[in-house]
């Protein structure tokens, strides 16, 4: 993309001289639309937001983001107890799969609707559905009911995070946005630490139902604060909702994600039908979105280099993160023979540095550029994955902890740089869709990463020791390990370590691709001035 194109992207974020920081990005947005193109319905702040009110809106967005982010980790900790109570082990994976699918298909839709109807309304819809689903999950009396209510919860969760981040993109100027989004990004790291501990405490000392109900007061407080302190006014204009585009988007993503998540357990013919149907629906979606006047998925966004690099780079970084979050505890427990507590501490190291680097990466971004922070973060991902490639059972948990720490630094910097650069690249009426595209691809990247790393591990086991597949679970259970002969235990440890070694080779490749993408960001674009200087 030419330098003029990048300047055009940056221009909408530049505020008039007399604009307050709180309203800068909102006031400037209409200037980005062409003279002959009528923008979608836009929302503006009724008055410049004073610092105290902005702080309260920030707190509400952080609470909503934390509520949705902590859901996966807190439920994962409680699932063995839930399954034992509701009796449905064969449906175990669907509790997570249906939540994942519902979130994936709803994220882009919420982003577009937030651009049409305003952020506040869509935050209420998303948080409300999430809370209703959470309450009903706690009342479930069977696994089928739990799966159904988890889908409802996922449809709500798909709107909470992107809309909350879009709200903050509206009320803070670009330079402030770098600091604020760094704080928001750190919430994901904190949730990874708090979730397992809180889930274990509630299951052990209260009841598993409170794993879901703990969200209710947090969500109620966030909705109340948004309602009181976020002031926006929707300009009256007739709106067209692209319902066909929404349906095609949901159909294509649902089929492809279902094939990805459940592909290993589906018959070959069913898998072909799912993949083929998903690709056909995706092609029809693209053709339809190009022809419709107000598309649910604005394809013109993908002509912007910043948006493409930030969204795809975030997806690759998300895939790397899943390789660590999902499989590093398996290495510590299975190959090293350590306890679940030690494995949790190793993984928690990533969360700590993720939170810190998100905050300090935002500050560095203001003084330098988006690209420098993204490149530094990507280099940390490459270094952290390289450390995990050299991991052996003999090196112990400390080596794994160092790798986890370094990867956390990379995740914090990359996610903050990508998201803030994307939000600064578009005017108000496209910011919801742009933010959602970033989060959507990050979410898809995590899903693809989990499936890919799992496939590599399983293929390694099948190739090197087919007889070990049925015994691998014993390595994660202290009682099961005691039942294995020394020779069998040594063989299983060797094979698991080899499979996870291959996983981290794949993670290195993905981290290197993230680094290459980071280098494609405009060299001098920063939150400070939002334009390229020669």
Residue by residue, DSSP assigns 104-143 as: HHHHHHHHHHHHHH-HHHHHHHHHHHHHHHHHHHHT--SH
What average pLDDT does the segment 17-23 reach? Answer: 36
Cα–Cα distance for residue pair 173/439, rounded to 1 Å: 21
pLDDT at 58 over 80: yes
**Kind and range of the H or E element at 326?**
helix 305-330
343/367 same-domain check: yes
Cα–Cα distance for residue pair 80/476, rounded to 1 Å: 14
Last residue of a domain, one of 191, 208, 233: 233
pLDDT at 528 over 80: no
User: Which pLDDT does position 446 carry in this prediction?
Assistant: 76
pLDDT at 280 over 80: yes
User: Which pLDDT does position 387 carry in this prediction?
Assistant: 94
**What angle in degrees, to the nearest 10, is found between the helix axes of 174-205 and 396-424?**
140
What average pLDDT does the segment 504-527 reach? Answer: 87
Q: How far is CA 369 from CA 467, 526, 528, 533, in A?
A: 52, 4, 9, 12
- Spatial neighbors of 227 by CB under 8 A, at least 6 apart, are 120, 124
Tokens of 165: 């981040």
Tokens of 439: 């989060």
What is the 8-class DSSP label of residue 466?
G
What is the 8-class DSSP label of residue 235?
P
Could you report the per-residue pLDDT of 82-95, keeping only the tens digit for each? Answer: 776 777 655 666 77
From the DSSP assignment, how many helices (H) and strands (E) are in the chain? 18, 2
Cα–Cα distance for residue pair 125/237, rounded to 1 Å: 21
Cα–Cα distance for residue pair 507/319, rounded to 1 Å: 8
User: Which pLDDT does position 36 carry in this prediction?
Assistant: 37
Write 138-142 long-range contacts (CB < 8 A, 24+): 138/209, 138/210, 138/211, 138/212, 138/213, 139/209, 140/86, 141/86, 142/86, 142/88
201/286 same-domain check: no
Look at residues 154, 163, 167 and name the one whose alpha carbon lies nearest to residue 112: 163
Cα–Cα distance for residue pair 171/250, rounded to 1 Å: 30
Look at residues 149, 107, 97, 10 and name the one whose alpha carbon lies nearest to residue 532: 10
User: Which pLDDT does position 509 carry in this prediction?
Assistant: 94
402/478 same-domain check: yes
Query: In this structure, is residue 373 part of a structural domain?
Result: yes
Cα–Cα distance for residue pair 429/527, rounded to 1 Å: 19
89/141 same-domain check: yes
Q: In 10 A of CB 459, how many CB atoms?
A: 12
- Spatial neighbors of 34 by CB under 8 A, at least 6 apart, are none
67/167 same-domain check: yes
Query: In this structure, is residue 532 part of a structural domain?
Result: no
Query: In this structure, is residue 265 part of a structural domain?
Result: yes
- Taking only Cα atoms into account, the Rg of the chain, rounded to an integer number of angstroms, comes to 23
Longest dimension (CA), the chain: 77
Cα–Cα distance for residue pair 62/168, rounded to 1 Å: 10
Query: In this structure, is residue 12 part of a structural domain?
Result: no
Calculate the dihedral angle through the C-alpha atoms of 496, 500, 503, 505, rounding to the nearest 10 degrees: -120
- The per-residue DSSP string of 378-416 comes to HHHHHHHHHHHHT--GGGHHHHHHHHHHHHHHHHHHHHH
Q: Tell me the pLDDT band of 530, cut-offs 50, 70 and 90.
A: low
User: Which pLDDT does position 222 carry in this prediction?
Assistant: 92
- CATH of residue 511: 1.20.1250.20
Cα–Cα distance for residue pair 318/49, rounded to 1 Å: 34
Higher-confidence residue: 288 or 443? 288
pLDDT at 45 over 70: no
Look at residues 265, 410, 416 and name the one whose alpha carbon lies nearest to residue 323: 410
Higher-confidence residue: 450 or 44? 450
Query: In this structure, is residue 133 part of a structural domain?
Result: yes
Query: In this structure, is residue 534 part of a structural domain?
Result: no
Percent of the chain with pLDDT over 70: 74
Report the chain's mean pLDDT, rounded to a whole number: 76
368/506 same-domain check: yes
pTM for the full model?
A: 0.69
Q: How far is CA 266 from CA 66, 261, 462, in A?
A: 34, 10, 18
What average pLDDT does the segment 146-175 reach? Answer: 84
User: Which pLDDT does position 245 carry in this prediction?
Assistant: 79
pLDDT at 410 over 50: yes
276/227 same-domain check: no
Q: Tell me the pLDDT band of 310, cut-offs 50, 70 and 90.
A: confident
Judge contact between 320 and 381, C-beta under 8 A: yes
Could you report the per-residue pLDDT of 412-435, keeping only the tens digit for each? Answer: 898 888 888 887 777 766 776 777
423/462 same-domain check: yes
Handedness of CA 475, 476, 477, 478 (dihedral sign): positive
Last residue of a domain, one of 209, 233, 257: 233
Mark residue 26 as left, alpha or beta (left: phi above 0; alpha: psi -120 to 50; beta: remaining).
alpha
284/307 same-domain check: no
Cα–Cα distance for residue pair 191/160, rounded to 1 Å: 15
Count up the domains in the chain and report the number: 3
Could you report the per-residue pLDDT of 424-472, keeping only the tens digit for each? Answer: 777 766 776 777 777 778 877 877 777 778 778 877 877 777 766 566 6
281/311 same-domain check: no
pLDDT at 396 over 70: yes
470/387 same-domain check: yes
Judge contact between 207 and 450, C-beta under 8 A: no
Q: What b/e string do you get for 478-511 counting C-beta neighbours within 10 Å, with b at 16 or more?
A: eeebeebeeeebebbbebbbbbbbbbbebbbebb
Cα–Cα distance for residue pair 483/331, rounded to 1 Å: 20
Query: In this structure, is residue 24 part of a structural domain?
Result: no
329/382 same-domain check: yes
User: Which pLDDT does position 383 carry in this prediction?
Assistant: 95
Q: Which domain holds residue 90?
A: 42-233
Query: In this structure, is residue 53 part of a structural domain?
Result: yes
Query: Which regions of 141-244 does DSSP assign to beta strands (E)?
Result: 233-234
Write 288-292 long-range contacts (CB < 8 A, 24+): 288/244, 288/245, 288/248, 289/242, 289/245, 292/242, 292/244, 292/245
Higher-confidence residue: 68 or 511? 511
Judge contact between 19 and 28, C-beta under 8 A: yes
Judge contact between 398 and 283, C-beta under 8 A: no
Last residue of a domain, one of 233, 256, 282: 233
Q: In 10 A of CB 220, how many CB atoms?
A: 14
Look at residues 90, 348, 102, 74 and name the one whose alpha carbon lies nearest to residue 214: 74
């Amino acid at each position: 993309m030419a330098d003029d194109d990048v300047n055009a992207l940056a221009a909408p974020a530049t505020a008039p001289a007399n604009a307050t920081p709180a309203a800068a990005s909102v006031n400037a947005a209409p200037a980005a639309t062409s003279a002959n193109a009528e923008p979608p319905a836009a929302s503006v702040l009724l008055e410049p937001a004073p610092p105290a009110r902005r702080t309260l809106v920030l707190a509400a967005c952080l609470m909503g983001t934390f509520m949705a982010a902590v859901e996966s980790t807190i439920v994962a900790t409680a699932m063995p107890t839930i399954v034992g109570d509701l009796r449905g082990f064969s449906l175990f994976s669907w509790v997570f799969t249906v939540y994942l699918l519902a979130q994936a298909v709803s994220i882009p839709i919420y982003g577009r609707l937030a651009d049409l109807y305003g952020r506040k309304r869509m935050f209420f819809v998303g948080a409300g559905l999430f809370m209703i689903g959470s309450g009903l999950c706690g009342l479930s009396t069977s696994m089928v009911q739990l799966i159904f209510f988890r889908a409802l919860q996922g449809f709500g969760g798909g709107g909470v995070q992107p809309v909350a981040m879009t709200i903050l993109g509206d009320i803070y100027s670009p330079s402030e946005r770098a600091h604020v989004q760094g704080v928001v990004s750190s919430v994901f790291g904190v949730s990874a630490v708090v979730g397992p501990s809180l889930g274990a405490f509630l299951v052990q000392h209260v009841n598993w139902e409170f794993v879901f109900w703990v969200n209710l007061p947090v969500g109620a407080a966030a909705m109340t604060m948004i309602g009181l302190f976020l002031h926006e006014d929707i300009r009256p204009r007739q709106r067209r909702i692209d319902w066909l585009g929404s349906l095609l988007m949901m159909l294509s993503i649902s089929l492809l994600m279902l094939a990805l998540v459940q592909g290993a357990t589906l018959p070959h013919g069913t898998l072909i039908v799912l993949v083929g149907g998903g690709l056909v629906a995706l092609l029809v979606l693209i053709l339809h979105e190009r022809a419709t006047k107000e598309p649910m998925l604005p394809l013109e966004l993908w002509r912007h280099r910043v948006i493409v690099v930030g969204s795809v780079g975030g997806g690759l970084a998300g895939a790397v993160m899943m390789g660590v979050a999902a499989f590093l505890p398996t290495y510590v427990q299975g190959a090293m023979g350590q306890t679940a507590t030690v494995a949790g501490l190793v993984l928690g190291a990533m969360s700590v540095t993720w939170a810190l680097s998100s905050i300090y990466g935002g500050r560095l971004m203001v003084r330098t550029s988006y690209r420098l922070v993204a490149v530094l973060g990507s280099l940390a991902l490459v270094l952290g994955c390289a450390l995990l490639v050299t991991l052996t059972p003999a090196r112990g948990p400390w080596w794994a902890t160092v790798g986890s720490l370094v990867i956390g630094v990379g995740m914090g910097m990359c996610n903050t740089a990508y998201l803030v650069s994307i939000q600064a690249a578009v005017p108000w009426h496209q910011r919801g869709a742009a933010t959602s595209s970033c989060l959507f691809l990050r979410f898809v990247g995590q899903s693809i990463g989990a499936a890919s790393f799992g496939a590599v591990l399983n293929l390694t086991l099948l190739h090197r020791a087919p007889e070990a597949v049925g015994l691998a679970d014993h390595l994660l259970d202290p009682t099961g390990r005691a039942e294995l002969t020394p020779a069998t235990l040594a063989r299983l440890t060797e094979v698991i370590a080899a499979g996870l070694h291959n996983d981290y080779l794949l993670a290195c490749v993905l981290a290197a691709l993230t680094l290459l993408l980071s280098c494609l960001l405009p060299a001098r674009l920063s939150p400070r001035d939002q334009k390229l200087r020669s």
